[in-house]
Structure 1
Amino acid sequence: MTKRLLAAVAGLAMAAALAGCTGNEATTRPLPVTMNEEAVGHFCQMYVLDHEGPKAQIHLAGFDKPLWFAQVSDAVAYLKDQERDGSVSAVYVSDMGKAVSWAEPGADNWIDGENALYVINSARTGGMGQPEAVPFSSKEAADGYIAAKGGIAVRLDAIPDGYVHPAADLTASVGNAGQSGSAE
């Protein structure tokens, strides 16, 4: 009888241990972080508050602090990068429908980046002077922005790679370098 009891207890212990290995564990999604003067852009390494327009924060699994982006298009470029490290656990973007102004996108009006509507091809550029993907939580707010600034509304996965990775114009920075001829 003791051997049977021991076998039953061992079997229950093994079943309980295996139950933790199913991969169905609930993962908690990190909440958005309030943007403050310590938020530094992931790509530019500049304070995000020093730049106008919408911002983004991306949370990676296993990290306590988010990656900050001075413009949303940079965050989209990061998400589309095949070589990025880390598993994304949450993406939050400024809801520009609730922003005080373009200069003040808000410190706490974050919306889920996966559910936002993004206006692209508008007359506005982002905080780093590049084409911006302007996020909104509602179609009405996006439509109002489009009426004023132009553009089209798309979901995150429909933003074209070329929009966030524009082709570089090397001739502007190279000038006459590399041309044959005499130097003065």
Structure 2
Amino acid sequence: MTRPILVSFLLATTLLAACKEERAQAPDPITMTSDALSHFCMMQVDNHPGPKAQIHLKGLPDPIFFAQMRDALAYVKGPERDADILAFYVSDMGAAPDWETPGIDNWIAAETAAFVVGADVTGGMGAPEIVPFSDPALAQDFAADKGGEVMSLEEIPAATVLAPVDIILNEEPPS
């Protein structure tokens, strides 16, 4: 093998190994326990209804949790984050027992979720909620019942989660 070809081969092999190593760094979701505290309010995540999120950040051994999807999306789409996101998981509400108990292990990658935006539902912290589903058909059914539009993570406008909202208290959970 001539020297230029050998150098090219070694460089390509090194780059492929680096790509595989980068992908391998994305951690799996962890089970939500009663120890999980919401990143912004430091309240127990499992004490609140509706979908949850966990975000794994570069340099942190444990994920940060969110008691409401809107808060997690504000964190992801907002300008104040100072660490790289390794993984972003959300509750699959199509697999949740109900709104009050969204599940502790039914996590899906946010990048693959179908989100219902603008539905007539409130999340765990009393603000309008964005509801994730792994199955787009279930997201469409939810939107038909509760209003809203089905969007991908990329399609959700930052203003939707960063704008101030009036908190709705004593709201009935969706059926």
Which of these residues, 73, 91, 96, is aligned with residue 93 of structure 2?
96
What percent identity do the matched residue pairs reach?
47
- Give 1:164's aligned residue: 161
Decide whether the 8 Å contact of 2:94 with 2:134 is kept in 1. yes
State the AA in 1 paired with 2:82.
Answer: D
Which of these residues, 112, 116, 121, is aligned with residue 115 of structure 1?
112
After TM superposition, the score normalised by the length of structure 1 is: 0.77
- Give 2:60's aligned residue: 63
Decide whether the 8 Å contact of 1:121 with 1:152 is kept in 2. yes
Decide whether the 8 Å contact of 2:51 with 2:90 is kept in 1. yes
Q: In 1, Cα distance between the equivalents of 2:153 and 2:128?
A: 15
Q: In 2, Cα distance between the equivalents of 1:148 and 1:37?
A: 31
Task: Give, in angstroms, the shift of residue 162 of structure 1.
Answer: 1.9
Counterparts of 1:38-49 in structure 2, within 5 Å, are 38-49=35-46
Aligned alpha-carbon RMSD (Å): 2.3
How many equivalent pairs are there? 155
Instruction: Give yes or no for the alignment of 1:26 onto 2:35.
Output: no
Q: Runs of 4+ in structure 1 displaced over 4 angstroms?
A: none
Q: In 2, Cα distance between the equivalents of 1:118 and 1:63?
A: 27
Change over 3 Å in CA distance of 1:103–1:64 after alignment to 2: same
Change over 3 Å in CA distance of 1:34–1:168 after alignment to 2: closer
State the AA in 2 paired with 1:129.
Answer: G
Change over 3 Å in CA distance of 1:131–1:168 after alignment to 2: closer
- Give 2:142's aligned residue: 145
Unaligned runs of 5+ in 1: 1-14, 170-184
Decide whether the 8 Å contact of 1:40 with 1:48 is kept in 2. yes
After TM superposition, the score normalised by the length of structure 2 is: 0.81
Unaligned runs of 5+ in 2: 1-9, 167-175
